[in-house]
A and B are shown apart, each in its own frame.
Chain A
Amino acid sequence: MIQPDTRLQVMWNRLLAVVEEQGQALIRAAFSPIVRECGDISAGIFDAQGRMLAQAVTGTPGHINTMAEAVKTLRSRFAQSDMKPGDIYLTNDPWIASGHLNDFLLMMPVFYCGTVIGYTACTSHLVDLGGLGMGPEGSDIYDEGLLIPPCKLVSAGTVNALLLEIVKANSREPIANEGDIYALIACCEAGSSRLIQMMQEFGLADLNTLSDYIIETSRRGTLDAIAALPKGTWRHVLTVDGYDQDIGLHAALTIAEDHLLLDFDGTAACVGKGINVPLNYATAYSVFALRCIIGADIPNNAGSLDPFRVTGPKGCILNAQRPAPVAMRHTLGQMTPDLVYGCLSQALPDKVPAEGASCMYDLPLRHAPEAVDRGDDLFALELVFNGGTGARPRLDGLSATAFPSGVWGSQVETTEAVAPILFHRRELRTDSGGAGRFRGGLGQHIELSASQDQDLMLFLSVERIRNPASGRNGGQDGAPGCITVEPGNRTLPGKGEVRIKAGERLIFETPGGGGYGPPSDRADDEVDTDIRSGLITRNAAETQYVRKT
């Protein structure tokens, strides 16, 4: 007979395929643009003990680890003996699910031959949960909308109609919310039925042997990767723009024999606006950054994630506590990879990229409040743009590319077709990439205005206006982001609500990534190519790269 290992591997591959199928099903049916364009979802399969066995690789890493912990929490709230086939549990508690109210997490026990053999879970971003809406202006979590504590959404196949009515009654987008919740239910059910199908096909009674194999193999692979690292503790401080004043993010990364520990001790306290980050979300992006460099080829599961531990003092801005406002937790959450890399680069100087733009440059545009009375076009757009990524130890940074998030940018033509917006320019920002042996990625220069005689409302929550991406190992900083309104050259802060009047032009310049290594080490022909391609000016070649041109 065949050694059992191959069969287990085949089943592991099957579980990985099943979670991807679940994820795709969810993305296809989603209404929320951020889900559709950015794949801001997660889908996972868990064993009877609540250990995560497989998680879909989707567009944004904000759910890595978060979901694994969330399922453990939900399992501990509800007795397994009370669960019935067809039950599904729900919460959007930011401290349990995924860091802000918009993320709904569902968990479904999977019954096989009368017992719970595992769970499927999924998370998706809903468009609107009431309150002040998706923006940093809330003063506490109660301003930010409806919080649903862990509860049963579906009981033996019957949806709790009252709960659904409450979600709809508290939203500006009730129909889309309902659609998204049904998509989540379908996703859980699809995962459950595929899992049962697999167990039938392979003649399994439970998942125990398979989950031990997956978790042990992944843990061993991760520990092997950690064993190859130098041991010690490295510290770094990253200064970010914050809401209205600079904030210091502190981290100490300890590489031990059998685990990594990241500690945010020393990080500044929470602020009064919604850019605070619950620890589960800060953990997601921090662990993602570490796993890009340490054991990147090993799938996410309880075994591969276990050696990565993240902690921080309660109440610091990366471990926000109730009732802190957290709606825009991704703004700083997406800066944590640069914080982590500041530590890791000391341990592995030639493996870690320079800092990048990192925080995505969302550009949520809406009609002005008076539009209804004036008969103007009503619209809401969630445009996302990105700056440049940091230069890599052996490669230039990527221009206008999302990292660490995996969002997709938009297209000018489709945007102009659905909203009263006219773009005047969207091009790379010459000289915005940090100079270095390897050049940082370039940011973008975007200009837009209303295409009709109407004002536009803009809700900003972006970073790196005052604190640009630092270079590494002698590389220079990337250009900071810059947001202005013409005419009048009105410069805008990175956070807050702005009105762009009819006829005014918004100029939205995204940051460049930092360079890697001294610019003097860059080869002449690479500098020449950059000049000929218009990525740097002759002036920059002379001043930053010290070349005669």
Chain B
Amino acid sequence: MAIDIGGTFTDTVLVNNASQVVATAKTPTTPNRPALGAVAGAEHVLQVASAEWHQVTGFIHGTTLATNALIERRGAETATITTHGFRDILEIAYERRHSQYAIDLVKPNLIVPRTHALTIGGRMNANGRELEPLEETGIEPVVDALKSLQVDAVAICLLHAYANPAHECRLRELLTDHLPDLVISLSHEVSPEAREFDRLCTTIANAYVQPLMASYLQDFEARFRQKGLSCPILMMTAGGGMTTLDTATRLPIRLVESGPAGGAVLAARIAEATDETDVLSFDMGGTTAKLCLIDDFRPQTARKFEISRAERFIKGSGMPVRIPVIEMIEIGAGGGSIASVDRLGRIQVGPYSAGSDPGPAAFGKGGDKPTVTDADLTLGLIEPGRFAEGRLRIDPDAAQRALALDIGEPLGLPPDQAAFSVSEIVDESMASAGRMHAVESGKDLGNRLMIAFGGNGPLHATRVARRAQMRRVLIPRDPGVGSAVGFLFAPVSYEVIRSRYARLDSLDIDGLNSFFASMQAEAEQVVRAGAPHGQLQQRRIAYMRYHGQGHEIEIRMPDRALDVSDIPVLEQAFEAEYSRQFSRIVPGMTIEILNWGLSVSSPAPAQGAFSETPPQHAVMSDETRQVLCDVSGEWRPAQVFDRADLTAGATLTGPALIVEAQTTTFVSADFSADVDGQGNIWLTRHKEASR
């Protein structure tokens, strides 16, 4: 069983031993006691499958609670302790404005005000050598300050603690003696990477949500145990792996963004099952769209992301968090994204979203702004009677009115053309985001397969794919609950990234080997707690660059201790990857490495056998709807299919709508669709857009 608690809905999925989905549920999230909604979803799927609690042999949970607590500032009263002389790491940050022309720019709120920024003497250098001992006599004033500030949690980030954590550890002992209830996060445990600002932010975020997450996880476990769940509960992490409740309680920051990570894991799983080595996953929901590059069945990973970006998803307007994550580009484009016209007469879509409450104008819940969903309704792409399984009353006239008022009137367009324009703008921005993401990663979208899911992904997939110059799209089964399905395919894993500056031409092999041994021990201990048996897999990474460059390139290392003969191999691997990304190498330039990564994981559940391609048979439908064709710009009939009726081997041509419980797949006129033996829908673009 997998449960993904999102901001609006809680998705629950039950699979059998053959990894087949046997039941799904989408229930409203219960924000005050999220576990209640989770229990409701769990009981629903068990009932559908006629199963009992004791039959559940694996349980995986992901939640946005930590993310939301950070966004909504519902965490603990938190203070920081940094090295004496460096009180303002947070205030000074990178000394930059995230928006070049904004005179009235306000910097991101980084949780801890300067009044709560304390310091203590003692100094390590970059090699981890102690220059000054920890100023133990300084502990009394720090304790007094923590008391008078009535602090619940403290983030400790001392300079170069990633290289030598002794002072941080000692400081925790001293503080615990005085303040046994204080929640303490140490930077070298949360994020052992150089760059004090990022490490401090990550440590603060961890400390800030830790008390809340600890009590939530305790409550969650108690409720499910009471129901009769007997197997261990594993938690989904941002890195796309699972971890134990203990680790989740200690490092709750690793739980943020775990829902979207589940989607990427699902896409990677499907990529492997279908042997597609170059994939872009496209997850479009109600408020945002998320895109992830997946090469050789592995979602692209990163070591940093930002939480609660204040302004329009602009880089640098949020709080950086440096942990291993599946790298996704997220933009403010979802079904609820609001469309408007700016003073130059340009249509803007998002990033503001009507969410699910009040929601799009068509929901009739008080929303009067036109949204992407209103545009899709007006284009004929959503059947009002079948939206959200008919549970929600949809008013297409309200959608048209809102479009006419906010878009049509200022631009002199009738509602359908206003809707068409909104769709063009939002699809273009998603396609651009995908292209940009590929460029930043030194990759190209051209020949990739798009795997689309989420409530609005299948609806917009062909439109976005065409604009991104992609020809093939796959819609998996149960696309509306894709993230939760993905949880079930995640391994138990733990990744450590740690800084240790080195040059490849003067590598201290012995030192590096013992450095990796300690990372391995740390990671294995965490993983063994969740996967006591079986072979563990290991992956070692060096983040390499030419001396003088800022951009690091991820190079896979042998998963064992190094010897001298490995150095030229690493150099060659770096040069090969560098020339792949930049078309050439730079002879004579020194290669340096600041960060090293090691991940340990249990094997992912085995893939079910992939059945042979079934014989194809063309299908037609008696049911049609008028849609405004995105290729010709004319109204024309589209065939309407029920996804459940499409059997393996079915083929059809666009324009067509394939309807299922939680979403609709729109097959544009220049695409055809066929269904494979696993029930995936493959969409293929077969002609150039005639415009």
Q: How many positions in chain A have a CB within 8 Å of any CB in the partner chain?
A: 89
Given the complex of chains A and B, what is the CA–CA distance between A425 and B85 in angstroms?
Answer: 4
Find chain A residues with CB under 8 A from B582 CB. Answer: 28-29, 182-183, 186
B440 touches A411 (CB 8 A): no
Known: A183-B582, A413-B195. 11 other contacts (CB 8 A): A24-B436, A24-B439, A31-B586, A182-B584, A400-B92, A408-B96, A409-B92, A413-B194, A427-B92, A444-B88, A534-B114
A-B residue pairs in contact (CB < 8 Å), sample of 11: A2-B417, A3-B411, A14-B428, A17-B436, A31-B548, A179-B589, A218-B344, A221-B344, A395-B104, A398-B107, A413-B499
B346 touches which one: A9, A409, A411, A534 (CB < 8 A)?
A9
Given the complex of chains A and B, what is the CA–CA distance between A182 and B589 in angstroms?
Answer: 15
A61 touches B100 (CB 8 A): yes
Given A28-B442, A33-B548: A426 touches B347 (CB 8 Å cut-off): no
B424 touches which one: A7, A30, A31, A59 (CB < 8 A)?
A7
Any B CB within 8 A of the CB of A165: no
Find chain A residues with CB under 8 A from B548 CB. Answer: 31-33, 127, 176
What does the 1/0 interface line of A383-423 toward B look like (CB < 8 Å)?
01110000010110011111100111101111011100011
A413 touches B160 (CB 8 A): yes
What residue of chain A has the Cβ atom nearest to residue B428's Cβ? A10
B97 touches which one: A37, A406, A533 (CB < 8 A)?
A406
Kindly provide the distance from the CB of A170 to the nearest chain B CB, expressed in whole angstroms. Answer: 17
Given the complex of chains A and B, what is the CA–CA distance between A36 and B550 in angstroms?
Answer: 6
Any A CB within 8 A of the CB of B222: no
A9 touches B425 (CB 8 A): yes
CB contacts under 8 Å to A, within B95-152, are 95-97, 100-107, 113-115, 125-126, 131
Kindly name the residue among B85, B160, B467 whose own CB sees the greatest number of chain A CB atoms within 10 A.
B85
What residue of chain B has the Cβ atom nearest to residue A33's Cβ? B548
Given the complex of chains A and B, what is the CA–CA distance between A31 and B592 in angstroms?
Answer: 13
Given A5-B411, A29-B582: A217 touches B344 (CB 8 Å cut-off): yes
Find chain A residues with CB under 8 A from B440 CB. Answer: 24, 28
B103 touches A293 (CB 8 A): yes
Find chain A residues with CB under 8 A from B85 CB. Answer: 423-427, 447
Given the complex of chains A and B, what is the CA–CA distance between A14 and B125 in angstroms?
Answer: 48
B97 touches A401 (CB 8 A): yes
Given A20-B436, A186-B583: A402 touches B96 (CB 8 Å cut-off): yes
Among the 9-residue stretches A81-89, A197-205, A243-251, A517-525, the one with 4 or more Cβ atoms under 8 Å from chain B is A197-205
Find chain A residues with CB under 8 A from B432 CB. Answer: 13-14, 17
B94 touches A179 (CB 8 A): no
Find chain B residues with CB under 8 A from A451 CB. Answer: 125
B347 touches which one: A9, A178, A385 (CB < 8 A)?
A9
CB contacts under 8 Å to A, within B149-187, are 159-160, 162
Given A13-B432, A296-B102, A408-B96: A413 touches B159 (CB 8 Å cut-off): yes
Find chain B residues with CB under 8 A from A447 CB. Answer: 85
User: How many A-B Cβ pairs are below 8 Å?
Assistant: 211
Given the complex of chains A and B, what is the CA–CA distance between A428 and B467 in angstroms?
Answer: 48
What does the 1/0 interface line of B580-610 toward A look like (CB < 8 Å)?
0011101111000010000000000000000
CB contacts under 8 Å to B, within A1-60, are 1-3, 5-7, 9-10, 12-14, 17, 20-21, 24-25, 28-33, 36-37, 57, 59
Find chain A residues with CB under 8 A from B88 CB. Answer: 400, 426-428, 444
A417 touches which one: B92, B501, B689 (CB < 8 A)?
B501
Kindly name the residue among B160, B417, B549 whose own CB sees the greatest number of chain A CB atoms within 10 A.
B549
What residue of chain A has the Cβ atom nearest to residue B582's Cβ? A29
Find chain B residues with CB under 8 A from A406 CB. Answer: 96-97, 100
What residue of chain A has the Cβ atom nearest to residue B632's Cβ? A1
What residue of chain B has the Cβ atom nearest to residue A36's Cβ? B550
Given the complex of chains A and B, what is the CA–CA distance between A110 and B70 in angstroms?
Answer: 48
Given A9-B425, A14-B432, A398-B107: A3 touches B417 (CB 8 Å cut-off): yes
Find chain B residues with CB under 8 A from A31 CB. Answer: 546, 548-549, 586
B420 touches A394 (CB 8 A): no
Kindly provide the distance from the CB of B619 to the nearest chain A CB, expressed in whole angstroms. Answer: 31
Any A CB within 8 A of the CB of B54: no
What residue of chain A has the Cβ atom nearest to residue B346's Cβ? A9
Kindly provide the distance from the CB of B123 to the nearest chain A CB, expressed in whole angstroms. Answer: 9
**Chain B residues within CB distance 8 Å of chain A:** 85-88, 91-97, 100-107, 113-115, 125-126, 131, 159-160, 162, 194-197, 342-347, 411-413, 417, 420-421, 424-425, 428-429, 432, 435-436, 439-440, 442, 467, 469, 499, 501, 546, 548-551, 582-584, 586-589, 594, 633-634, 689, 691
Any B CB within 8 A of the CB of A542: no
What residue of chain A has the Cβ atom nearest to residue B634's Cβ? A1
Given the complex of chains A and B, what is the CA–CA distance between A36 and B432 in angstroms?
Answer: 23
Kindly provide the distance from the CB of A165 to the nearest chain B CB, expressed in whole angstroms. Answer: 15
Kindly provide the distance from the CB of B455 to the nearest chain A CB, expressed in whole angstroms. Answer: 24
Given A13-B425, A398-B107: A6 touches B420 (CB 8 Å cut-off): yes
Find chain A residues with CB under 8 A from B584 CB. Answer: 182
Find chain A residues with CB under 8 A from B425 CB. Answer: 6, 9-10, 13
3 closest Cβ pairs, A-B complex: A409-B95, A36-B550, A425-B85
**Chain A residues within CB distance 8 Å of chain B:** 1-3, 5-7, 9-10, 12-14, 17, 20-21, 24-25, 28-33, 36-37, 57, 59, 61, 127, 175-176, 178-179, 182-183, 186, 190, 197, 201-203, 217-218, 220-221, 224, 291-293, 296-298, 353, 384-386, 392, 394-395, 398-403, 406-409, 411-414, 416-418, 422-428, 444, 447, 451, 532-535
Given the complex of chains A and B, what is the CA–CA distance between A418 and B114 in angstroms?
Answer: 30
Kindly name the residue among A9, A201, A413, A451 whose own CB sees the greatest number of chain B CB atoms within 10 A.
A413
Kindly provide the distance from the CB of A472 to the nearest chain B CB, expressed in whole angstroms. Answer: 13
What residue of chain B has the Cβ atom nearest to residue A11's Cβ? B428
Kindly provide the distance from the CB of B676 to the nearest chain A CB, expressed in whole angstroms. Answer: 29
Given the complex of chains A and B, what is the CA–CA distance between A377 and B196 in angstroms?
Answer: 24
What residue of chain A has the Cβ atom nearest to residue B429's Cβ? A13
Given the complex of chains A and B, what is the CA–CA distance between A298 and B345 in angstroms?
Answer: 12
B104 touches A392 (CB 8 A): yes
B96 touches A6 (CB 8 A): no
A428 touches B97 (CB 8 A): no
What residue of chain B has the Cβ atom nearest to residue A428's Cβ? B88
What residue of chain B has the Cβ atom nearest to residue A58's Cβ? B100
A411 touches B126 (CB 8 A): no
B196 touches A392 (CB 8 A): no
Given A17-B435, A183-B582: A413 touches B102 (CB 8 Å cut-off): no
Given the complex of chains A and B, what is the CA–CA distance between A534 and B118 in angstroms?
Answer: 12
A411 touches B97 (CB 8 A): no
B345 touches A5 (CB 8 A): yes
Given A3-B417, A9-B425, A411-B196: A221 touches B100 (CB 8 Å cut-off): no
Find chain B residues with CB under 8 A from A9 CB. Answer: 346-347, 421, 425
B194 touches A411 (CB 8 A): yes
A6 touches B421 (CB 8 A): yes
What residue of chain B has the Cβ atom nearest to residue A385's Cβ? B95
What residue of chain B has the Cβ atom nearest to residue A535's Cβ? B114
Find chain A residues with CB under 8 A from B195 CB. Answer: 411, 413-414
B196 touches which one: A30, A36, A293, A413 (CB < 8 A)?
A413
A25 touches B439 (CB 8 A): yes
Kindly provide the distance from the CB of B602 to the nearest chain A CB, expressed in whole angstroms. Answer: 34
A422 touches which one: B106, B125, B428 (CB < 8 A)?
B125
Find chain B residues with CB under 8 A from A14 CB. Answer: 428, 432
Find chain B residues with CB under 8 A from A422 CB. Answer: 125, 131
Given the complex of chains A and B, what is the CA–CA distance between A303 and B100 in angstroms?
Answer: 20
Given the complex of chains A and B, what is the CA–CA distance between A17 and B429 in angstroms?
Answer: 9
A6 touches B114 (CB 8 A): no
Kindly name the residue among B125, B411, B432 whose own CB sees the greatest number of chain A CB atoms within 10 A.
B432
Given the complex of chains A and B, what is the CA–CA distance between A235 and B198 in angstroms?
Answer: 44
A21 touches B439 (CB 8 A): yes
Find chain A residues with CB under 8 A from B159 CB. Answer: 412-413
Given the complex of chains A and B, what is the CA–CA distance between A197 and B468 in angstroms?
Answer: 11
